[in-house]
Amino acid sequence: MRLVIDGQRLTEERTGVGRCLESLLAEWALTGLPMAETLVVLREPGGRNRVPRIDGLVSKVVGERWSGLGWEWFGLARELRPDDLLFAPANLMPLPWRGRTVLVIYDTLPWVVPESFPRLVRWRFGWRYRLAARRADRILVPSQATADDVARVHGVPPERIRVTYPGPEPEFRPLPHHSSEVIEARRHVGVETSPYFLFIGKRSRRRNVPAILKAFASHRREHPGHRLVFVGPDDPGDLPGPADGTIRAGHVSEETLRGLLAGAIALLYPSDYEGFGLPVVEALASGCPVVTLRNSALIEAGGDAPWYLDSADAPAMALALRVLATNEEERRTRIARGFDHVAQFSRARFAHEVKDELIRAAALTPRNG
């Protein structure tokens, strides 16, 4: 039996799902593959750089210019043999596939916060997410909150769902502000010596960017030298420019991201819903306080360390910015709580738990075959 991995999200630009898969492969390269014969099916040639070169692990690029659905149907599906085990780490599996499958579902966003998606997007993907969930032999989720949502939204029996908490890369750690990593990250995005706040990820509607901008504008009236750095896809939409203290950094390297987190006043992550919130964990591991909302899986990701808001209220957020920027005792307390909390998350533990589920699934009689 082979393990076949959907590697569509392994691309040159490292994004959330791709980073989690890359983390698993890196750990398995150290501790052993779940199966002796493992194939990673890629959609972009650049994804080869994310696959370790070890015995038993092979990567193959197919359907480079195909659409996502076409790639699943005529690329990934054609590489699968009837006795394979498919590891599908991105919510979906090929519709023609009926073999053993371990599926990762990160969230149930189209149902929990439907206003965040155009109606067409919900129609195109919603039924496919639900069908994949009901067909999969095992479903891995990044939080208990998501496990509860998957069972409720998709009607999946809880015994087929397993919570496996992602862990930060070991390189996410506190760094002195005068370290070369922090100085280089500052230089790369153009903040130089200015104090700054950080936003990481897509500027999705649920992440309340307008409230962040209002809070920062209010804060900056007292602290005109402070900056707000946006890291992630440079999505369409207006942002104030450098004259207002706002910097669009776009995608950055992992090294730059680690330096930015270690040097920031705080990470601003006031999301209405997250399936987990890995940036929260990475920030806490880096000694960076977090401002977020008290909802969904963010409470599991943050524990008692973040400055929680009950809603994305700009004045309340501005207060959090002011305190975290000026009260060193408050910062030290939250940083210490963050270190205590993230000690439970580990890349090695995450990889071990996923490997264990894959090995168990390989022994099952296919539910759909």
Q: What pLDDT score was predicted for residue 369? A: 45
Spelled out in words, what is the top-level CATH class assigned to the domain 180-342?
Answer: alpha beta
Q: What pLDDT score was predicted for residue 315? A: 97
Strands 290-293 and 196-200: unpaired
- Exposure string for 295-311, b = 16+ CB within 10 A, e = fewer: bbbbbbbbbebbbbbee
CATH 3.40.50.2000 positions along the chain are: 3-167+347-362, 180-342
From 69, 97, 103, 93, select the one nearest 83 (Cα to Cα).
97
> Which residues are registered as beta bridge partners of 300?
none
What is the CATH code for 3-167+347-362? 3.40.50.2000
Give the predicted TM-score (pTM) of the model.
Answer: 0.90
| CA gap 150, 144 in Å, rounded | 10
Run means of pLDDT, 10 residues per run, the chain, 369 residues: 94 82 95 96 92 95 86 91 95 91 93 80 82 95 96 94 94 94 96 96 91 97 96 80 92 94 98 94 97 96 97 97 97 97 95 96 73
Q: What pLDDT score was predicted for residue 366? A: 65
Q: What pLDDT score was predicted for residue 122? A: 76
Q: What pLDDT score was predicted for residue 133? A: 94
